[in-house]
Amino acid sequence: MSLNHDGPRIATTSAAHAWSPNVAGVHQDPYVQTEDSAIETKTAVSSRFWPGGFSGPASEDLVLVSCDRISFYVHSTVILAASSNSFADLIRSTRLAVASRNVEHDVVNVRETSSVLNIILHSIYNLSCAPYAPTNGDLITAVDTFPRYGFSVHTHVAPSTAFFQVLLSRVHTDPLEFYALAGHHDLYALASCASAHLLGLKVGSIPVEVVERMGPVYLNRLLSLHQTRLDALKAILAGPPAPHSLTYGCDEESQASLARAWSLVAAYLIWEMRPQLTPISLELTLGQLARNIRCPLCKTSFDARLAGVMTAWGFVQQSI
Ligand SMILES: [Zn+2]
C-alpha cells in the first residue's frame, strides 16, 4: 500500500465538503457530518490520512476522530493487524453499533490529540512523521500510548522503522527524557543513543520521578557507563611522559617537574571533567603543559604520551 499524492481534493464522507491544507498537516474547516451524529459537527481531515490518500485495492473504511476533532481515514485491516486488543476494543464495539445503522464508515472517537494520533498512525503505517515537526512531548506521549491500543512498542520503535529515525533525530535535544522513555519501555537501542548525550550528566541531579520512570536496570546501565569511562580515564592518564637520559640542559629535577605537572593536570581532568571529557578538551587541557617544555627530548616524549592518551580515550565506551 502506498501513499497517493495525487488523490482527489474533496473529502468524500457521508457529508462531503471541500477542504484546503494548512501547514500543520490538517485540512481545515470542512463541515463533515459524522456517522454517529445527526448534528453537523465542525471537524477537519488529516492531510495524510484522508479518503483516497493511499493507492491500492483497499479503501479506507475506518475514521478515527481525535479529541480536537480531526478525522483520520485509515484501513481497519492495518489497524487490527497491528493491534493486539482491537484498538482498545473500540473497533469491535463500534462495528457492532455501526452494523445496525448501515453507514459508510466506522467512526471511532479517541482521547488523543490529533498531533499524537498523527504520530501513532504514521508509525503504524511505517511512515515518517518528521515533516509535521512534532514536539518531543507528543513523540514521547505517542510511544507511551502504544500499549493502550495494543500496539507493540518494540515493533513500532524498532531501529529499522521510520519512527525510530524521527526519535533518533531528537534524542540530542532532550537526552534524559528520551533515555527515561527508552528505559521505561526497555528500548535498548534508543537508550544507547540517548546515553551518549548524557556523559556529562550528574546522576545525583536526576529528578526522582525520572529515575523511577527509567527504572533500576537502565539507571544502573547509565551509572556503569559513567564508572567505566572514569576508570578508563584514570588508567589512561596514569603515568607521566617517559623520561629520557640526563643531558646538560635537562636534569632529573627538570623531568620530575614535568611529571608533577602531568599528574596535577591528570587529577584535574579526572575529578573535574570526568566522563563527559571530549577528545578535544582532553587535548587542549593536556596540551597546555607543552608551553613550558623547553627540552626537545621532553617535548618528543610528551607528544608521544599525549598521542597515546588521545588514541586510547577515543576507544573508550561512549554509550551503554
Ligand atoms: Zn628533557
| Domain limits for position 297 | 232-314
Cα 113 to Cα 65, 92, 107, 117: the distances in Å are: 9, 22, 16, 6
- For residue 189, being part of any structural domain is answered with no
CA distance 51 to 315: 53
Listed residues: CB within 5 A of ion ligand 1: 250, 295, 297-298
Ligand 1 mean position to 241 CA, how many Å?
10
Q: What percent of the chain has pLDDT over 90?
A: 63
More confident residue, 66 or 270: 66
Q: Which helix (H) or strand (E) element contains residue 270?
A: none
CA distance 308 to 236: 8
Ligand 1 mean position to 123 CA, how many Å?
63
Ligand 1 mean position to 258 CA, how many Å?
9
When mean pLDDT is compared across 44-48, 68-72, 105-109, 248-252, the lowest value belongs to 105-109
Mean pLDDT of 78-84: 93
- For residue 78, being part of any structural domain is answered with yes
- Residue 243 carries which DSSP code? P
129, 156, 191 — which closes off a domain? 129
CA distance 27 to 182: 33
Mean pLDDT of 12-29: 35
Residues in the chain: 320
Ligand 1 mean position to 33 CA, how many Å?
88
CA distance 106 to 77: 12
Give the model's pLDDT for residue 177.
97
Tens digits of per-residue pLDDT, 255-314?
A: 999 999 999 999 998 887 666 778 888 888 999 999 889 999 999 999 999 999 999 998
Mean pLDDT of 201-224: 94
pLDDT class of 200 with cuts at 50, 70, 90:
confident
Ligand 1 mean position to 270 CA, how many Å?
26
When mean pLDDT is compared across 54-63, 110-119, 185-194, 259-268, the lowest value belongs to 54-63
Per DSSP, the residues of 89-145 read THHHHHHHHHHTT--SSEEEE-SS-HHHHHHHHHHHTT---GGG---HHHHHHHHHH
129, 151, 185 — which closes off a domain? 129
Give the model's pLDDT for residue 282.
86
Ligand 1 mean position to 259 CA, how many Å?
11
CA distance 227 to 219: 12
Tens digits of per-residue pLDDT, 215-234?
A: 999 999 999 999 999 899 99
- For residue 291, being part of any structural domain is answered with yes
Dihedral sign, CA of 16, 22, 26, 29? negative
129, 158, 193 — which closes off a domain? 129
pLDDT class of 42 with cuts at 50, 70, 90:
low
Give the model's pLDDT for residue 93.
63
Tens digits of per-residue pLDDT, 82-118?
A: 999 999 988 876 665 555 555 567 889 999 999 999 9
- For residue 281, being part of any structural domain is answered with yes
More confident residue, 14 or 194: 194
- For residue 217, being part of any structural domain is answered with no
- For residue 204, being part of any structural domain is answered with no
CA distance 19 to 126: 26
151 bridge partner residues = 83
pLDDT reading at 18 higher than 70: no
Number of domains in the chain: 2
- For residue 48, being part of any structural domain is answered with yes
pLDDT reading at 45 higher than 50: yes
Ligand 1 mean position to 267 CA, how many Å?
22
Give the model's pLDDT for residue 191.
98
Ligand 1 mean position to 264 CA, how many Å?
19
Per DSSP, the residues of 54-89 read EESSPPP-EEEE-TTSEEEEE-HHHHHHHBSSTTTT
The structure's pTM equals: 0.79
Ligand 1 mean position to 260 CA, how many Å?
14
